[in-house]
Structure 1
Amino acid sequence: MSGDSWRTLDGLDPRGKKVLLRADLNVPVRDGKISDLTRIERLVPTIRELSDKGGRVIVVSHFDRPKGKVVPEMSLEPVAKALGDQIGHAVTFVPDCLGDTARSAVDAMKDGDVVVLENTRFYPGEEKNDPEMAKALASLADVYVNDAFSAAHRAHASTEGVARHLPSFAGRLMEIELKALDAALENPDRPVGAIVGGAKVSTKLELLENLLEKVDMLAVGGAMANTFLAAKGYDVGTSLKEEEMLDTARTIMKKAEEKGCDLVLPVDVVMSEEFMAGAPTRTVSADSIPSGWMALDAGPETVALLTRKLAGLKTLVWNGPLGVFELPPFDTATNEVAREAARLTQAGKLRTVAGGGDTVSALRHAGVLHDMSYVSSAGGAFLEWLEGKVLPGVTVLKETLKDAFPL
C-alpha cells in the first residue's frame, strides 16, 4: 500500500477536465438534518483543490441502502446543499447519476463548477459492480478520483468498476488515510502496539489474528476481554462472554506466546450487579469476580499497566473501547488510556492511528478525537484493513493501471 503505487492529485492538472469524484456522502441524518458533518468536512480539501484549479467536479456517492430502487427520502439533494455550504461554493444537484439528465448537466459545466449526482445505489448495477453502469459513469468524465476510503472495501461500479475505464487518482482524504495506515501497520516505527476492544471475540477474530502477525503488543479490552479471562479459567460472574469462543481465545493466547507478542488482558475490573449508568460498583482483581456481578470496565491497575505499555511504544493502532464507555462511570479506563495516548502523541513520542466501530465516539467522548495522529471515519473499510483483507477500491488505483492510462 505504499504511496508510490497509486497516483495522487500531485500528478493531475484538472483544468478543463471533467473529474468524476467518488466521495462518501453517506452521512447520518436525523429528523431531516445531518447530525454529523465529519465526512463532508473531510472531502472539502479535495473538492476545493480540483475546483480552484479549474476542474469540472462531478461528485458521485451512495447514500443509505435503497437496494437498487429510487427511495425519495434517500436522495442526496439535502446533502449536496450541505456540501455547498462547507466548501463555500455553489453546488448543483442533479436528480440522476446516469442517462440524459446527468449528461446534460455535465455538458453544461464550466471550469471550477461542482455538481452532485443522485444516489448511485438507486441503480441495482451499483452494488453488483455492473460493467455497463461502470462504463456509463466513466463516459461522463475524463479522469476518476476516489476520495472514499470508507467505501473502498466494496467492489461497486462507482468504487472499482469505473477505475478500469479512466486514468485514476487517490484524492487528498484517500491519500492521507493510506499514508496513515501504511505508517501504522505496513511500515511502522517499532515497537508497535494495538488496543482492541468491543463486545465479541467472534466479530474481531480475523482482526486479532492479523494483528498478532504484525504487532509487538496487543491489548484486549471491552467485553471481549471477559472471554479471554474465562478461557484462562477465571470465573467472570454474569459478565458478557462467548462460551463457544473459549477454545479460540486459548489458541490466540498460545499463538501470541509463540510469536513473542505481548498479549495484555485486564488485571482488574470495575464491576456492577446492574447494567445502568451510575449503578453501584466495586473494583476487584480480574480473577476474583463474584457470582452475580459483571465486569463493565477495566480497573485502575489495568489503566496503570496500559499506561506503562504505551510509554514503550512508538506506534499504536486503536480499535474499540475498553469498557461500556456510554455508561459512566464505565468510561473511566477508555478515557484515561485515550488521554495518555493523546498526551504521548502531542509530545511527539507516539504515532496513533484509530478507527472503526465505536472508536470515533469513544475518543470524542474522551475529548481527544483531534489529538491522535489520525482517526479514520471509515468504519467497515478500516476494520477490513485491520483484518488484512484486500480493499478493491484501493487495489484498483494501484500502479498496474497506469500502463493502461498513461497521462
Structure 2
Amino acid sequence: MASDPGRRGPLDGVPLLGARHITAGERWIFSAGFNVDPALTSTGRIDSELADLRRLAESGARVAVLSHQGSHRDNSATALDHAAAHLTRRLGRPVRYVPENASDAAVRTAEALAPGEIAVFGNTRHHAGEERNDPDLARRFALLGDRVAVGGFSKAHRAHASNTGVLRLLPGHAAESLVTEVRFLAPWAGRNDGLSSAAVLGGRKPEKTLVGLVHAMRSYDLVVPGGVVLNTVLRALGHQVGASDLGSRPDACLDAVRKVLDTPAKARLHVPRTVWTAPTDGGRITGAARPTAVADGVPADHAVVDFDLEPWAAESLAGADRAVLAGTPSRYLDGQVRSSDAVLSALSRSSGRTLLLGGDTVAELPWAGPVSTGGGSALELLATGTCAVLDALHDNARAGTGGHGPADDDVMDGVST
C-alpha cells in the first residue's frame, strides 16, 4: 500500500513552543536528550536545542533543563556538567549546573532562577524510576516548572518520567528540535511501492531488532542486518553464533526475529555466507579476526565482528531510491570495517535519498549526507507514524492540562509522514 499524503500527521493538534508567546518570569521545564559523553564527541543532540533555549532565555523565561546521559541499569549515568559548560559556550550566557533534580533543594533552586536564567539539573537516569516512568518521580520533576517544552527527539520513543511522565501533570509543547526531526523524516516514512527501498540495521540496541527489523521487513525491499541484529538472525536460523553479542534483551529479540522469519515479508533479507569472527573476552576482541563460513558455525570462544556484504545486496543498495542506515553494521571502532565500508560505498553511488540514524552511528561512520540523531525514536516514527512522546503530547493537549497561554492554540497543521 502506498503512503497516503492526505492522512493526519503526527504533529497535528500538538501545541508548538515556537508558536507560543513567552512572558518574562514564566517557569519552564525543558525536557532534552543530551545523551552526549563527557568528551563531547558529538554535540548534535545538545546543539539541536540551542535555538529554543536561546529564545526562552531572551524572552525572560526561567528554564530548568532535564536530561540524561548513559543508563541507570548499567551504572553508566554520569554528571551533566559538561552539557552545561557546552551550553554556556554556545549560548554566550552562563548556564548553571545543579547536580540534583528531584530533591527539595533542587525545587528551591528552580524557584529561585532569575528571568532569563537557564540551569541544567542532574542526570535523570541517576534514578531507577526514570526509565520505569515512575509517577512519584515525575511529580518531583514537575515541581521544577509550570509548563514543559519537549525536545530530545533521541529519547522520544521512551516513556520516561522526565518526558511523558511530566506531560501527565503540566501543559506541554513540542520544541523545535522535535518538530524539525519529525518533518525531516517524512521522505523516509511509510511504505511506497513506487520507490525501491533498503534498510541497514546494526549496533547493539534491542529496538534495532524489535522495531527496526520487524517494520523494515514489511515495508522495505531489502534489509541488511548487522551487529546484534545479524547475530540474532543467525541464531534464529539455527546457526551457531559462539560468544557473539546478543544485546540486552536477547530472548525478546530472538522471539521477534523468529516471528518475522515465519511471516510473509516484502523485503529480501540479506544473510551473509561469510562472517568475520575473533576471539573475545568479556566483549573485548583479543585476537585477529578471520573469515568463517556461516554454515560452519562460530566457535564457542569467538564472536562475529564483521561480515562480507554479498554483491547482489551491494547492487541493491546502490540502486535504492531511499535507504536508511540505523546502527553501525560492524565493530567499526575496533577496526572491523568491511561491511560498513561496503555499505557506505554502495550508498554513496545511489542517486536516491540515504539517511543515517542514531547518535552512535553518526559519530562512528564517515558520512557527509543527511543524518538524524534519533535512532530508536526515528525507527519507531518511521514504523508507526508516532512515538511515545508524540502520543503523550496529543493526550496532554486533549486533556487540557492547564496553563494555556495566548498562543497555545497555534498548532502544527498538515505535517504528514
TM-score by length of 2: 0.71
Pairing partner for 1:20 from 29, 34, 53:
29
In structure 2, give the amino acid aligned to 1:299: D
> What CA distance in whole angstroms lies between the structure 1 residues aligned with 2:221 and 2:232?
22
> What CA distance in whole angstroms lies between the structure 2 residues aligned with 1:173 and 1:375?
11
Identity %: 26
> What CA distance in whole angstroms lies between the structure 1 residues aligned with 2:288 and 2:397?
58
> What CA distance in whole angstroms lies between the structure 1 residues aligned with 2:137 and 2:389?
16
The equivalent residue for 2:340 is: 334
The answer on 1:60 being equivalent to 2:61 is no
In structure 2, give the amino acid aligned to 1:91: V
Secondary structure at 1:45's aligned position in 2?
helix
The equivalent residue for 1:307 is: 314
> What CA distance in whole angstroms lies between the structure 1 residues aligned with 2:43 and 2:171?
30
In structure 2, give the amino acid aligned to 1:18: R
Question: Would you say the 8 A contact 1:198–1:320 is kept in 2?
Answer: yes
The answer on 1:261 being equivalent to 2:267 is yes
> What CA distance in whole angstroms lies between the structure 2 residues aligned with 1:290 and 1:25?
38
> What CA distance in whole angstroms lies between the structure 2 residues aligned with 1:295 and 1:271?
6
The equivalent residue for 2:260 is: 252
Secondary structure at 1:326's aligned position in 2?
helix
> C-alpha displacement at 1:147, in angstroms?
1.0
The equivalent residue for 1:396 is: 392
Inter-CA distance 400–306: structure 2 relative to 1 (3 Å threshold)? same
Secondary structure at 2:389's aligned position in 1?
helix
Inter-CA distance 148–321: structure 2 relative to 1 (3 Å threshold)? closer
> C-alpha displacement at 1:102, in angstroms?
3.5
> What CA distance in whole angstroms lies between the structure 2 residues aligned with 1:131 and 1:237?
41
User: 1:19-38: per-residue Cα shift (whole Å, max 9, x none)?
Assistant: 22112234323xxx555544
Secondary structure at 1:193's aligned position in 2?
strand
> C-alpha displacement at 1:273, in angstroms?
7.1
User: 1:128-176: per-residue Cα shift (whole Å, max 9, x none)?
Assistant: 6455654554454343101123333443332123223333112122223
Secondary structure at 1:213's aligned position in 2?
helix
The equivalent residue for 1:8 is: 16
Pairing partner for 1:109 from 96, 111, 114:
114
Q: Which has the higher contact order (CA 8 A, sep 6+)?
A: 2
The answer on 1:359 being equivalent to 2:361 is yes
Return 56-65 or 169-178, whichever deviates more: 56-65
The answer on 1:192 being equivalent to 2:193 is no
Question: Would you say the 8 A contact 1:184–1:353 is kept in 2?
Answer: no
Inter-CA distance 4–325: structure 2 relative to 1 (3 Å threshold)? same
The answer on 1:323 being equivalent to 2:330 is yes
Question: Would you say the 8 A contact 2:15–2:397 is kept in 1?
Answer: no
RMSD value over aligned CA atoms? 4.4
> C-alpha displacement at 1:331, in angstroms?
0.6
User: 1:295-344: per-residue Cα shift (whole Å, max 9, x none)?
Assistant: 653336x2x4233212432322222333332343x312212312432454
Pairing partner for 1:49 from 52, 55, 80:
55
Inter-CA distance 206–141: structure 2 relative to 1 (3 Å threshold)? closer
Inter-CA distance 195–323: structure 2 relative to 1 (3 Å threshold)? same
When the two structures are aligned, how many residues end up with a matched partner?
381
Inter-CA distance 100–388: structure 2 relative to 1 (3 Å threshold)? same
TM-score by length of 1: 0.73
Q: What residue ranges of structure 1 are gaps of 5+ in the alignment?
A: none
> What CA distance in whole angstroms lies between the structure 2 residues aligned with 1:199 and 1:59?
28
Once the two structures are superposed, the pairs formed by residues 2-401 of structure 1 within 5 Å of their partners are 2-16=10-24, 17-29=26-38, 34=40, 36-64=42-70, 74-94=78-98, 96-97=100-101, 99=104, 102-103=107-108, 105-110=110-115, 112-120=116-124, 126=130, 129=133, 131=135, 134-135=138-139, 137-186=141-190, 190-198=195-203, 204-205=209-210, 207-222=212-227, 224-225=229-230, 228=233, 240=244, 252-255=260-263, 258-266=264-272, 268-269=273-274, 271=276, 279=288, 281=290, 296-299=305-308, 302=310, 304-328=311-335, 330-342=336-348, 344=350, 349-355=352-358, 359-363=361-365, 367-368=366-367, 371-376=368-373, 378=374, 381=377, 391-398=387-394, 401=397
> C-alpha displacement at 1:78, in angstroms?
4.6
In structure 1, give the amino acid aligned to 2:170: L
Question: Would you say the 8 A contact 1:353–1:373 is kept in 2?
Answer: yes
Q: What residue ranges of structure 2 are gaps of 5+ in the alignment?
A: 1-8, 409-417
> What CA distance in whole angstroms lies between the structure 1 residues aligned with 2:206 and 2:30?
37
